[in-house]
Amino acid sequence: RVLSSSSGLSPCPSSRADTAAMAHRVLTVQNHILAGHASVSGGVEMRCTAGSEDADFAARVKEMAAWMSSDRYKHTTRPYKVEDVVKLQGTMPLHFTGAKVSDKLYKMMRDHQAKGTCSHTFGALDPVQVVQMAKYLTSVYVSGWQSSSTASTSNEPGPDVADYPYDTVPNKVDQLFRAQLFHDRKQYEDRRRMTPEQRAKTTPVDYF
């Protein structure tokens, strides 16, 4: 029931408790979003456009140069300068959440390479599978032939000849990633409702 301020009525104690619980839930989700999980596609960052414009551009060029020369990209040949990239970003550069998972995978593969070990993996077809696999695996892949048989965006099953629509595998990855994000948010909220003692006894699942 919704009560207006002019109705002369006040919500009962249980309603106030429900409102407080909802406010706490919203605050938890808000804090999680601000921590870097804005959305699947990423977020934006407001940049200064006032007197410090040149200083901000220089700082962004320095940051981009460090990224381009990092271990992962230092052998990539680029026919353009760092400044050419930064000046096309505008004042609100995009940040993609999926890129963080990509960085994590690269570091994990490098670590396995150095140790002579491997990451045991299986192919996931749906959100239920990828969520259950997260508890036991360090990596999950999306198979092209599986997508061709069960997840083609044309709903037409086919053989393993990659004749499915070009967005079939990206759409499947997007679906699975959204499931990972959802269960990560759910777990984060659940753990914030626990006491420190309960959290110490409960090992969190790395859904990414």
Q: Tell me the pLDDT tens digit for each residue of 158-184.
A: 777 777 888 888 899 999 999 999 999
Does any domain span residue 41? no
Summarised one tens digit per residue, pLDDT across range 36-49 is 444 444 555 656 55
Confidence of residue 132 (pLDDT cuts 50, 70, 90): very high
Query: Above 60 in pLDDT, residue 98?
Result: yes
Query: Above 80 in pLDDT, residue 99?
Result: yes
Is 165 in contact with 152 (CB distance < 8 Å)?
yes
Q: What is the spatial distance between Cα 119 and Cα 137, in angstroms, rounded to a whole number?
A: 8
pLDDT at 44: 54
Does any domain span residue 40? no
pLDDT at 2: 40
Question: What average pLDDT does range 6-15 have in this prediction?
Answer: 51
pLDDT at 39: 41
Report residue 19 as tokens: 């409102």
86 lies in the same domain as 100: no
Question: What average pLDDT does range 104-130 have in this prediction?
Answer: 94
Domain count, the chain: 2
Is 150 in contact with 125 (CB distance < 8 Å)?
yes
Domain of residue 77 covers 46-92
Is 82 in contact with 61 (CB distance < 8 Å)?
yes
77 lies in the same domain as 124: no
Summarised one tens digit per residue, pLDDT across range 39-93 is 444 555 656 555 688 899 999 999 999 999 999 998 999 999 999 999 999 888 7
Q: What is the spatial distance between Cα 141 and Cα 188, in angstroms, rounded to a whole number?
A: 24
72 lies in the same domain as 151: no
Does any domain span residue 113? yes
The DSSP symbol for 116 reads T
